[in-house]
Each structure stands twice: as structure tokens, then as C-alpha cells.
């Protein structure tokens, strides 16, 4: 794809980002000949869309494939199977120029603000570097760097000549956000951008992201393991478990009435400020299964109190429940037009080794 005319395509496409049946397996080598012994199924058949101007939150336990999915969207790693469409066009750059054109529209903010920055480059140079790589003169790049530094709340006169080790964690993450915004992107992928920050600093960075989103007309894919952060920032939520989507819907729908037993366990495990609702034992016990050899059928069935025989035979499809745009991959809900089946929230007690209610 030599010419990636995203501006024209964005005007014609309703969905800014469309992911269809995305899959990524990582080979595990071993033996005397160092041959492939197995595969880690990091992302396995993921499909979703991101509408222009929204914030899609992706949540799940560590190891569920969230960060791998982000890197697949950004084309930092190549998918085995699947299609990614950006602004209505196939988003698989096949040349360096096409990749640069794609990166002008899609940027990523990584989790660790310190390791994301070059310790030998000062802040002004680090932010301006992206613009220089994409063909701007050094003067233009410097002016853009100063402009975005001001937007993220850092005075360039004060911070421009400093180095990463001279900044706090929150200031470094602001620099990373500025570095992503210097190219005027349309979509920003944020991979756990506040997980390493103090709670008070987290709030400042989240408020900054909201301000930038509305001021610049941005679209976010926001990845986090913190449900409170997802609830605060996101318009829609996508819940992942062991490389697959378990549930998807608006933040309000998913937080008030989660359908999938895994989603229910996630929300039941969040700390409460009410001492009468404190948890004596966790609602979800045990670790996720090995992604090299996941369970047959539904991958959550080994930890699910509602597991049925059919859960082991085939993976349940992601289907719409009701008419409010909430999707769930669970056999408790029969078809796309059905109202929710058995009411499974709050979670019933099914022995100490699986689930316990929060009462």
C-alpha cells in the first residue's frame, strides 16, 4: 500500500478501526535441535470495532493478551491470521513509507514511562524526534515539540533541556503522551499508561487524557487491569480472558449488569469503601490456565461455577444479548435476540475452590 490516504477514507468510514478474527501464536522452542514444541496462544480470534471519537477500554487479568493485541494493532508484531482495517482501508503496511504513513495516524503510549525514553536524549529532542523522522525540519519539529509539551502541562522552557532521570514518573508519562501527539494522530493506543503511577498522579494523567481527547478529537484504545480506571475513562469495555473476548458493551451496561461469569468475578473482586461489603475470600480463585494448552471449548470453564457439558465441546460465540449492544461469549445466553438467561449476579457460592459471594 504505497499511498495511505487516511484523511479521505476517514470521511467515508464510520468505524475508525476494525479488527476481524485476529490471531497471534508465539512458538515455544526446545529440544536438542531447538525446534518448535508448542505455541503460546496470546490472541486467538479477536474481533471488534472502534468508532471515531470513542474510548474503548480493554480489561483482563495479566497474561490475557491485552498488550499483544495493542502491538498487533500498531503493527509492532505481525499477526498470524486476521484483518485490521483503519478508516475503512486495509491497514497492513507492506513498505517502510506505508508504515510511516500509518504511524502518523496511529500512535502508542507504553506502560513504563522510563524505559520508553532514550536516557541520552533530552525531553525536547525526544518529543521532536518523531516529527524529524516523518520529514519535518528541525526547526518545525522543535516548534511542534514545544507546542505539545505545553498541551500536556509541561513548560518547554523549564523541562525541554532536562533528561528522563530528572523527571518524576508522571512527568515522564506526560512526555510520552506528548511524543505520541506530535504527529497529530487520530487514534492513540494506551497500554497501561497509569499503572506504574501513584494514585494522585494517575488522576491527573487521566484528566489530562480526557482533556486532550476532547480538545484534539482523538480516539483511544485504553488498556488497563484496573476496573476503576476503565469505568472512569471508557465509553465501551472489552473484557479479555486467555486471548479471547468474553464480553463487550458500554461501560455503564457492563459495570451495572455484567453478563459473563468472568466479568462478574472481576467486578465482585474490586475493593469497596463500605466495610459491610468487604470481601472475606476472593470471588475468583486460582490462576488462568496455561496459554500453551488452554482448555477445550470455553477457556473459562475450568474456573466457572456454571460450566456445562457443552462448554467443553466448543467455544461459545460472541453473541449479542438483547438490543442494547451488549455482547457475551457464554452458553448461559441462548441466542442473539434472547434476554439474559439465568441471573448469575451476584455470584453464587459453589465451594471455596471456585466462587464465593461478596456478601
pLDDT value for 334:
67
Q: Is the pLDDT of residue 345 over 80?
A: no
pLDDT value for 335:
54
Q: Is the pLDDT of residue 287 over 90?
A: no
pLDDT value for 24:
96
Q: Which three cell numbers stand for residue 217?
A: 478529537
Region 265-285: what's the mean pLDDT? Answer: 75
Q: Is the pLDDT of residue 259 over 50?
A: yes
Which residues are CB-neighbours of 94 under 8 A, at least 6 positions away? 1
pLDDT value for 4:
39
288-299 pLDDT, tens digit per residue, is 888 898 999 999
Domain with CATH 3.40.50.300 in the chain: 6-234
Q: Is the pLDDT of residue 336 over 90?
A: no
Q: Is the pLDDT of residue 73 over 70?
A: yes
pLDDT band of residue 324 (cuts 50, 70, 90) is: confident
Looking at per-residue pLDDT, the higher value among 123 and 359 belongs to: 123
Q: What is the mean pLDDT of the chain?
A: 85
202-243 pLDDT, tens digit per residue, is 999 999 999 999 999 999 999 998 888 999 999 999 999 999
User: Quick one: what percent of the chain has pLDDT higher than 70?
Assistant: 88
pLDDT value for 5:
41
pLDDT value for 338:
43
86-136 pLDDT, tens digit per residue, is 988 887 777 788 888 888 999 999 988 888 899 999 999 999 999 999 989
313-323 pLDDT, tens digit per residue, is 999 999 998 87
Q: Is the pLDDT of residue 352 over 50?
A: no
Q: Is the pLDDT of residue 9 over 70?
A: no
* 6-234 is classed CATH 3.40.50.300: yes
Cα(185)–Cα(73) distance, integer angstroms:
14
pLDDT band of residue 184 (cuts 50, 70, 90) is: very high
State pTM to two decimals: 0.85
Looking at per-residue pLDDT, the higher value among 179 and 11 belongs to: 179
CA separation (Å) from 105 to 56, 86, 224, 342? 17, 9, 22, 44
Amino acid at each position: 500500500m504505497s499511498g495511505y490516504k487516511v484523511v479521505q477514507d476517514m470521511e467515508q468510514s464510520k468505524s475508525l478501526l476494525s479488527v476481524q478474527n485476529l490471531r497471534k501464536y508465539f512458538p515455544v522452542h526446545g529440544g536438542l535441535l531447538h525446534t518448535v514444541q508448542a505455541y503460546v496462544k496470546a490472541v486467538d480470534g479477536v474481533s471488534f470495532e472502534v468508532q471515531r471519537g470513542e474510548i474503548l477500554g480493554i480489561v483482563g487479568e495479566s497474561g490475557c493478551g491485552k498488550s499483544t493485541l495493542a502491538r498487533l494493532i500498531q503493527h509492532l508484531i505481525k499477526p498470524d491470521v486476521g484483518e485490521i482495517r483503519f478508516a475503512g482501508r486495509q491497514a497492513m503496511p507492506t513498505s517502510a513509507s506505508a508504515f510511516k504513513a500509518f504511524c502518523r495516524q496511529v500512535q502508542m503510549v507504553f506502560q513504563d514511562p522510563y524505559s520508553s525514553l532514550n536516557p541520552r536524549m533530552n525531553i525536547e529532542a525526544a518529543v521532536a524526534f518523531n516529527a524529524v523522522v516523518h520529514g519535518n525540519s528541525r526547526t518545525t519539529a522543535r516548534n511542534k515539540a514545544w507546542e505539545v509539551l505545553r498541551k500536556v502541562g509541561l513548560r518547554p522552557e523549564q523541562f525541554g533541556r532536562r533528561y528522563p532521570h530528572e523527571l518524576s514518573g508522571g512527568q515522564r508519562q506526560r512526555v510520552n503522551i506528548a511524543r505520541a501527539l506530535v504527529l497529530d494522530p487520530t487514534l492513540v493506543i494506551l497500554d497501561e499508561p497509569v499503572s506504574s503511577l501513584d494514585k494522585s498522579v494517575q488522576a491527573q494523567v487521566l484528566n489530562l487524557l480526557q482533556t486532550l481527547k476532547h480538545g484534539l478529537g482523538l480516539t483511544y484504545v485504553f488498556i488497563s487491569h484496573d476496573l476503576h480506571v476503565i469505568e472512569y475513562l471508557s465509553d465501551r469495555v472489552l473484557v479479555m480472558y486467555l486471548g479471547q473476548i468474553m464480553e463487550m458493551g458500554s461501560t455503564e451496561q457492563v459495570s451495572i449488569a455484567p453478563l459473563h461469569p468472568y466479568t462478574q468475578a472481576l467486578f465482585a473482586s474490586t475493593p469497596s469503601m463500605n466495610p459491610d461489603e468487604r470481601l472475606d475470600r476472593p470471588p475468583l480463585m486460582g490462576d488462568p490456565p496455561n496459554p500453551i494448552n488452554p482448555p477445550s471449548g470455553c477457556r473459562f470453564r475450568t474456573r466457572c461455577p456454571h460450566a456445562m457439558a457443552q462448554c467443553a465441546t466448543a467455544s461459545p460465540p460472541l453473541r449479542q444479548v438483547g438490543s442494547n449492544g451488549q455482547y457475551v461469549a457464554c452458553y448461559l445466553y441462548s441466542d442473539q435476540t434472547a434476554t439474559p438467561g439465568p441471573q448469575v449476579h451476584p455470584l453464587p457460592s459453589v465451594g471455596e475452590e471456585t466462587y464465593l459471594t461478596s456478601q
